[in-house]
Amino acid sequence: MIKIYHNNRCSKSRQGLQIIEDSGKNFEIVKYLEDIPNKQELKDIIRMLGITPIDLVRKNEAIWKEQYKGKDLTDNEIIEAMVNNPKLIERPIVINDSKAVIGRPPEKIIEIL
């Protein structure tokens, strides 16, 4: 099953959703600002993406700049920051079975469909 972690206010996320809709495949939308992933879900997503937790952070968000930027944070602290402030999670994230991709640019989503 395909899953997209989606924020409708984000143009890249909307474009990514359109790519999945156009594929005609079944999928699930996770509105991650409302249905916030827990620590284990984020760890699983990060593992599937093959990245480190800091690579999933939106570093231009005001929350990051004001509360976290320049601090020496552990991976667990970074994950905790994303759980507590889901706006920090990069988007869209698309998962298809055990494969995952950050849809930036949105066309990257096609690789795992």
Can you spell out the DSSP letters for 81-94? HHHH-GGGB-S-EE
Q: Is 10 left (phi over 0), alpha (psi -120 to 50) or beta?
A: beta
Whole-number pLDDT of residue 39: 98
For the question of residue 10 being annotated catalytic, the response is yes
Cβ atoms < 10 Å from Cβ of 67: 13
Whole-number pLDDT of residue 108: 97
Q: Which of 1, 3, 9, 10 is catalytic?
A: 10
Whole-number pLDDT of residue 97: 93
Cα distances (Å, whole numbers) of residue 101 to 46, 61, 74, 84: 10, 21, 23, 22
Q: How far apart are CA 50 and CA 36, in angstroms?
A: 21
What structural domains does the chain harbor? 2-112 (3.40.30.10)
Residues of the chain with confidence (pLDDT) below 70: none
Whole-number pLDDT of residue 49: 98
